[in-house]
Amino acid sequence: MKRDPGLQGRVVAAVKSIESDSSIEVVVSLSPRTIHSTVPVLASALAACIIVLIIYPILFADAEPLTITTDIFFVSAVAALLTWSFPQLQRLFFSERCMRNAALAAARAEFVRQGIHCTTRRTGLLVYLSVFERQVVLVPDIGVKAMIPAEDMDRLEQAAAIYKTSDPDSRLTDFFELLRQTAGRYMPRHDDDINDLPDELRCS
């Protein structure tokens, strides 16, 4: 999922709908990536270098040192360029757990940075979308944890796994609807509720 012209509008509409039916304060943050591309790019170049060094003595025993050096540089550069150009290749260098932990750490930092813990009744909820890692992390404040039962939070976590399907946009809409229903059930709106946090999609 990338930020498109319609995504901002869909997020704002969804957040307004959720907050009009409950006392929860929802913030949606979109991050292109959490893990930098340096590691997979360098690793692919090193792997290409090692492969060339292994193959040359076997297939090209008479090759000149200059030829070997030139080929190593060329193959390593091509491998690095391909890895840098295609996120799908970069993900091969990271486990699912590694990407989840990276997104979780970034989401918690974003929760504090954006002041989501400063709402009047501590009812903030960060929905953190990490595109490269294909992860969605929910970071609820203590007021949300106190009012929404653990089993319902687990259900929201499962619904938030939008990147596990072929249509993340539709799944995101379904998740927002489930969040609206859940928050409305357990966190009824108060007459004196104010909108503590902006509703627009934030990009980090």
Q: Is 129 exposed, middle or buried (0-12, 13-18, 19+ CB in 10 A)?
A: buried
Per-residue pLDDT, 52: 83
Per-residue pLDDT, 36: 84
Per-residue pLDDT, 2: 55
- Give Cα separations from 32 to 1, 10, 98 (angstroms): 9, 18, 17
Q: Which residues contact 46 (CB under 8 A, 6 or more apart)?
A: 76
> How many whole angstroms separate alpha carbon 39 and alpha carbon 90?
9
Per-residue pLDDT, 3: 55
What is the mean pLDDT of each successive set of 10 residues along the chain, which is 204 residues long?
72 93 94 87 89 81 80 88 89 90 95 91 94 95 95 96 89 95 93 82 82
Contacts 24+ apart (CB under 8 A), 121-126: 121/23, 123/23, 123/24, 123/25, 123/147, 123/187, 124/24, 124/25, 124/26, 124/27, 124/196, 124/197, 125/24, 125/25, 125/26, 125/27, 125/179, 126/27, 126/28, 126/29
Per-residue pLDDT, 5: 64
- Token representation of residue 1: 């999922």
SS (H, E, C) 44-64: HHHHHHHHHHHHHHHHCCCCC
Per-residue pLDDT, 202: 85
> How many whole angstroms separate alpha carbon 197 and alpha carbon 103?
22
Per-residue pLDDT, 15: 94
Kindly report the pTM of this predicted structure: 0.84
Q: Is-contact 49 74, C-beta < 8 A?
A: no
